[in-house]
Amino acid sequence: MTIEEKIDSGQGVIYHELGHLFAYYLANQNSNTKLGKVQKLEIGFLMNRVVPEDRLYHFEQSEEDRQKVKQNTRNIDRTIAWFIENIAGCTFQTIFEKVKFENCFKGKLGEIDFGNLSAIRKFSAFNWDFHQLYDLQNDLEKLLIQHQIIEKFKPLVNHIKKKLFQSTEQQLTFENEKLEDLTSAFQDIINTNFQSEYLDIISKYKKIMAS
């Protein structure tokens, strides 16, 4: 298999990481859901991840970290936006690949996202379960399909594929101005209706999970 063929076969991973980045962008458009800046995005054969500046819901096993997570989950709107960020990677990928969400979420690529959610569940300030999370994922998927978001990401994915082919070891890091240039493309992908419907989903699940 040539390098170009390997990059083509890994397009789903590109969609996956862009899904996480897109969810951060969406959350940061509203003060109630703001997750903070993304430090960098890494895509390629060696590493694939989105690195946030603020780790609001990630913790080690210390009591201090547990209390931090519990305090942060008191902001239910933002916490649901973070749920969406976790499931957005696999949602983007599985829409593109036309496979079931669970194939990714409980597989190798989704294990970190699934693990993040599992870890904070027992320390959350409100009760929620994975049945609700799968319903949330289903509503997110419908929203993305309705607004043809995956199709609109194709030029951006093709741009990254080209850069990967030209790069050393087929690995890219986007940070600072390069990251801003990347996320600026999101402004042309969404409209006010999409943003409003995204916030409607958060409001819906706030009522469900906080009841």
β-sheet bridge partners, residue 44: 171
Radius of gyration of the chain (CA): 17
Q: Among residues 48, 49, 7, which one has the least CA distance to residue 157?
A: 7
Looking up tokens 């030209």 gives 166
User: What tokens were used for 102?
Assistant: 């669970």
Cβ(174)–Cβ(40) below 8 Å: yes
For residues 57-86, give the mean pLDDT. Answer: 90
Average pLDDT over residues 30-43: 96
The pLDDT score that the predictor gives to residue 108 is 85
Mean pLDDT across 7-11: 93
CA atoms 175, 112, 85, 60: torsion sign:
negative
Give the pLDDT confidence score for residue 54 in this predicted structure: 87
The per-residue pLDDT for 9 is 92
Nearest one of 112, 115, 140, 107 to 49, comparing CA atoms: 112
Mean pLDDT of 26-51: 96
For residue 1, what pLDDT band results from cuts at 50, 70 and 90? confident
The kind and range of the H/E element at 60 are: none
Task: Find all residues with CB under 8 Å of 131, minimum gap 6, and list them.
Answer: none
Residue 88, both tokens: 């957005």
Mean pLDDT, residues 161-185 taken together: 94
pLDDT in tens, 58-68: 876 677 888 88
99-142 tens-digit pLDDT? 999 999 998 889 999 999 998 998 899 999 999 999 999 999 99
Assess whether pLDDT exceeds 80 at residue 96: yes
* pTM summary value: 0.96
Mean pLDDT of the chain: 94
- CA dihedral 130→136→137→141, nearest 10 degrees, is 170
CB proximity list for 66: less than 8 A, separation 6 or greater: 59, 123
Q: Give the per-residue pLDDT at 122.
A: 86
Distance CA 158, CA 139 (A): 27
Of 149, 140, 129, 151, the residue nearest 208 (C-alpha) = 129
- Interatomic CA distance for residues 188 and 73, integer angstroms: 31
